[in-house]
Amino acid sequence: MGLDFTKPYLDIYKAGGVAWDIRVEPKTLHSLLFDSAKNNPDNTAIIFYDRKITYGQLAGCVKRVASALYELGLRKGDRVSLMLPNCPDFVISYYAILSMGGVVVNTNPMYVEREIEYQVNDSGSKMIITLADLYFRIKNIRPNTGLEKVILTSLGGKSGEMPDDTLWLPDLYAGDLPEAPQADIDPVEDIALLQYTGGTTGVPKAAMLTHFNLYANVCQSDHFFSGGSWKQRIIGVLPFFHVAGMTSCMNICIAAGTTMIPVAKFLPADVAGIISKYEPTFFNGVPTMYTALLNSPELKDFNDYGKVPFYKSGSGPIPDELMQAMKAKLEGTNSIINEGYGLSEASPTVISCPPFDLKYRRGSIGIPYPGTHAAVVDMETGDRPLPPGEVGELIIMGPQVMKGYWNRPDETKKALRNGWLYTGDMARMDEDGYFYIVDRKKDIIIAGGYNIYPREVEEVIYQHPKVQETIVAGIPHQYRGETVKAYIVLKQGHSATEEEIIAFCKERLAPYKVPKLFEFRLELPKTSVGKLLKRRLVDEEKEKLGVK
């Protein structure tokens, strides 16, 4: 399919003096670390709770762990599950696996045994690296998997005896084995990472991301944001086992030879302390993190937001009220906040608000990254590009787009068509080439024949001064097909009634869009990166109603 689509965003690049059509020379990810260590061995690579590690020290640890993994049987193409929070050992293990030609399988340390077992078996992982505190989960599922080696570490050092069938990671990077032979890696073809996605809507599937996919996304970010000052000290609040944190903190820092500040667990007060002490230059978060920072009682008088020059929000649309609240906190400083869009299948970033266009467009996720094509097509066939202003499915093409889904050729054919990635997100593009996410394709509510976009209703509810968070979803209904339900978390110390929220919505929405059902909760379900889990709530409702 040769799509004939308009690209008005190219004019924005031209006006800003930034090239859109860039060429990225393929490189392996681990070569970036060794290049940075060679050029700047004394630069601080990691600050982890006041512990500093230089690039020379980091590269040395990576080489020793790589040698140990080789001795343990790791060969090119072998998968290794990496189940750690943000910490130096994640970084060391990640680059050691890659340097041996292995494939990292990012694994959430919050997973329960059933989820770990599924991912280990689906990926065919032969080794796993995780925390000693989580070993009991591995022990229970290990007989049902092909795991040959279990390697443990800790955030606080070894305590007690090690289980007989495990290895201690710090011993591996303290060893003196001969350097392992270099693996012959093709950056364009060889997989670096299996990133699982889609677990909230069915069986999780792994996006196959090559060395080139991930490296290209680093280069695109560097070019788009023009220069290195924003990369000097990046705080890692997004988990590295999630592709956004892995790319926008860890890989970008390593490529630039600058400093990352990993945060093992997002706690607003702790993060505020890091901002005050280290003044990070870049903070990439998700809407729920910004909500937590702004509403935490402990941070009532916190005024150091301006110490971070550049904030970014992704992983889901940021409500306009939240964006305006953050802008108010940054007023009078030189700091900015903008929004971006990405997905696991694209390493992840594909669209972002450009720093070279100062005109702010409320609700926009920005324009396509350098070298990235984006178009909005009709939902029925996916073959017809839509003109500016019309809503359809967002599709993407660029060097950061995945190779496909691991062992899922049918799913790959659905997602990748003639070089385009079909995102499943509903969007529109304005006349200037700025994109706006309307909703997930599968989240559209059809009630009584009307199409209702949950995000539009959520934006209205977020405007209510007592509301902290909300999710709007379509719930099965006998007569209307679906009906609109709002799940709401109120700000601390506030109370509200259904009638109050309904009256507020009726002033701002057509009657058919106003929620018919409400549920006030103390919290809403979220993923490990803070993304709100709408589908879990829908599944709960279906279970209550006995609907499959």
Q: How far apart are CA 373 and CA 386, in angstroms?
A: 14
Check residue 89 and report its DSSP letter. H
3-state DSSP call for residue 224? helix
Grouped pLDDT means (10 residues each) for the chain, 548 residues:
83 95 96 97 96 98 97 98 98 98 95 91 98 95 97 88 92 91 96 82 84 98 87 96 95 97 96 97 93 91 95 85 93 94 95 88 94 95 94 96 97 95 94 91 78 87 95 84 92 95 92 93 87 85 78
Q: How far apart are CA 385 and CA 3, in angstroms?
A: 7
Tokens of 18: 């930034």
Q: How far apart are CA 80 and CA 248, in angstroms?
A: 22
- Structure confidence at residue 360 (pLDDT): 80
Q: How far apart are CA 329 and CA 301, in angstroms?
A: 11
Q: How far apart are CA 189 and CA 420, in angstroms?
A: 18
CB of 288 closer than 8 Å to CB of 531: yes
What single string gives the DSSP state of each residue in 204-245? Answer: -EEEEEEHHHHHHHHHHHHHHTTSSGGGSEEEE-S-TTSHHH
CB of 111 closer than 8 Å to CB of 119: yes
Q: How far apart are CA 222 and CA 218, in angstroms?
A: 6
Tokens of 105: 């399988």
Domains along the sequence of the chain with CATH: 9-25+205-440 (3.40.50.12780), 55-184 (3.40.50.980), 450-545 (3.30.300.30)
3-state DSSP call for residue 329? helix
CB of 320 closer than 8 Å to CB of 462: yes
Residues 6+ apart with CB under 8 A from 129: 80, 81, 82, 83, 84, 89, 93, 151, 152, 153, 169
Check residue 30 and report its DSSP letter. H
Q: How far apart are CA 281 and CA 225, in angstroms?
A: 13
Query: Exposed (0-12), middle (13-18) or buried (19+): which is 481, by Cβ within 10 Å?
Result: middle
Tokens of 440: 């997930």
3-state DSSP call for residue 169? helix
Q: What is the pTM of this model?
A: 0.87
CB of 166 closer than 8 Å to CB of 78: no
